[in-house]
Amino acid sequence: MEAGGSHVLMKFTIEVGRYNPEGTYADDAKQGAPYPAPWASSPPRRYQSYEVDLPEHAVVLDALIEIREYQDESVAVRCACRSAICGSCAMWVNGHAHLACKSKLQEFTKDGKTRVESPPSMPVIRDLVWDMKPFWDNHRRVTPWLENKPLPPPMQEYRVTNEAMEELIQEVTCISCGCCLMDCESFAVNKDFMGPHALAKAYRYAADPRDDETQKRLGEYSQQGGVWDCTHCFECVQQCPKGVEPLEQILKLRRMAVNAGYTHNAGTRHADAFAESVKHSGRLNELTLLPKSVGFFNVLGQLATLPSAFNMIRAGKLPPIIHKTIPGVKRIKAIFDRVGGRFK
């Protein structure tokens, strides 16, 4: 296993999260099972250690193939291109989503070992092979194609500007690996959420000048499970191996939706209440933010927040009733007047 003949071999320890639906590991799984996260979609797995000798530049996938080919043929792993293009080797490496073929073992060795497993927020098929059904189901939900009527006249084509296409390049580089979804904090507790990859894809079509259904799309994406269900945790930006930055695309969709008039949602009310308070006092008025975001006429929503409001008052954690204005607030107002857009 000395490619090129001149590489120094190093010893790496790989801990593989094993799971076999046929029950071979059912008993073992109980021992050494990880914390059974209440939100987990996959069952506990058993960790099995392997030692491999590989060149210092080896990646996680090299180790897994070495294990499967020469040590334990029962280890199930999915891969194809081995060059960060097909997306099939996405898995959890040391607790986060990564492409195994792009993850250098040396960088991922922690306390002498690297742990690989299927992501807990996804169903698992076997060992490192997880079920991409939730990924593709969500993908389909956003109508991932151009809706274009009428069709171009025969023998002609639609022309778009370079600038319009440049705006979409970031999303076009998506390889559908699922790294963003498997680490998405919102999806972990909310399976109704379309998820970062699907919404990034949604932006790609909503912002394409050739699409005729932008308005309808924005309406759909503003519903429950859409753009407002993202918790803004940046995990998708952090984990995407292709720099798609799904959160950035979600934020652009939010902006498009609001500008298109889809403002009857807590997300827009929250932003408006936030802006209003910063504009008038320079600071956030927490006392009014929550009720304004929930909506003054949303009686059930308001009631739901009462117990915690009461607890906080009791602990002395209520923001001052009289909201103080920062000195020099005039500057802030001037800035809002100049660039505030909708918040002017």
Partner 1 sequence: MKVAFHPGCVSKGACPELYVSATKIAGTLGLELQELTEAPCTGAGVLSEQNPDLGDSLNALTLAMAESMGGNLMTICSTCQGVLSSVNHTFEKKPERLEKANKTIADQGYTYKGTTKVKHLLWMLFEDIGVDKLKSVIKRKLTGLKIAPFYGCYILRPSDSLGLKERPERKTYLEQLIELLGAERVDYTGSGKCCGFPMLTFNRDKSLAMGGNHILEAKEKGADAMVTPCPLCHLNLDGQQPDAALAISRPLETPIFHLPQLLGLALGFSPEELRLNHHVVSTKRALEKVELKV
Contacting positions for ligand FES (CB under 6 A): 79-82, 84-89, 99, 101
Rg of the Cα atoms in the chain:
25
Residue 275: name its binding partner from partner 1, ligand SF4, ligand FES, none (Cβ under 5 to 8 Å by kind). Answer: partner 1
Q: What whole-number distance in Å separates Cα of residue 101 and Cα of residue 103?
A: 6
* DSSP tag of 277: H
Binding test (CB under 8 A) with partner 1, winner from 38, 112, 150, 154: 38
Q: Which residues contact 273 (CB under 8 A, 6 or more apart)?
A: 288, 289, 292, 293
CA triplet 108, 109, 112: central angle to 5 degrees?
A: 165
Do residues 52 and 66 touch, judged by C-beta distance below 8 A?
yes
The least CB distance from residue 288 to ligand SF4, in Å, is: 13
* DSSP tag of 122: S
- # residues near ligand SF4 by CB under 6 A: 27
The least CB distance from residue 117 to ligand FES, in Å, is: 16
Q: Which residues contact 245 (CB under 8 A, 6 or more apart)?
A: 170, 200, 236, 237
Q: Which 280-319 residues touch ligand SF4, going by CB under 6 A?
A: 284
Binding mask 173-212 toward ligand SF4 (x if CB under 6 A, else -) reads -xxxxxxx---xxx---------xx--x------------
Our finding on whether 264 is near partner 1 (CB under 8 A) is no
Q: What whole-number distance in Å separates Cα of residue 35 and Cα of residue 117?
A: 14
Give the distance, in angstroms, between the CA of residue 87 and the centroid of all CA atoms in the same chain. 15
Nearer to ligand FES, 181 or 230 (CB): 181
- # residues near partner 1 by CB under 8 A: 73
Do residues 161 and 176 touch, judged by C-beta distance below 8 A?
no
Our finding on whether 282 is near partner 1 (CB under 8 A) is yes
Binding test (CB under 6 A) with ligand SF4, winner from 58, 240, 257, 294: 240
Nearer to ligand FES, 104 or 324 (CB): 104
Cα four-point dihedral sign 20, 25, 30, 34: negative
Nearer to ligand SF4, 90 or 105 (CB): 90
Residue 82: name its binding partner from ligand SF4, partner 1, ligand FES, none (Cβ under 5 to 8 Å by kind). Answer: ligand FES
Q: Which two tokens stand for residue 327?
A: 């000195």
DSSP secondary structure string for all residues of 186-241: HHHH-TTS--HHHHHHHHHHHT-TT-S-HHHHHHHHTSTTSGGG-----HHHHH-T
Our finding on whether 39 is near partner 1 (CB under 8 A) is yes
Residue 290: name its binding partner from ligand FES, ligand SF4, partner 1, none (Cβ under 5 to 8 Å by kind). Answer: partner 1
Nearer to ligand FES, 103 or 138 (CB): 103
Query: What is the SS3 assignment for 114?
Result: strand
Our finding on whether 238 is near partner 1 (CB under 8 A) is yes
The least CB distance from residue 154 to partner 1, in Å, is: 43
The least CB distance from residue 113 to ligand SF4, in Å, is: 25
Residue 86: name its binding partner from ligand SF4, partner 1, ligand FES, none (Cβ under 5 to 8 Å by kind). Answer: ligand FES
Q: Which residues contact 119 (CB under 8 A, 6 or more apart)?
A: 42, 91, 92, 97, 130, 182, 183
The least CB distance from residue 327 to partner 1, in Å, is: 5
Which residues of the chain form contacts with ligand SF4 (CB under 6 A)? Answer: 174-180, 184-186, 196-197, 200, 230-236, 240, 242, 244, 246-247, 250, 284
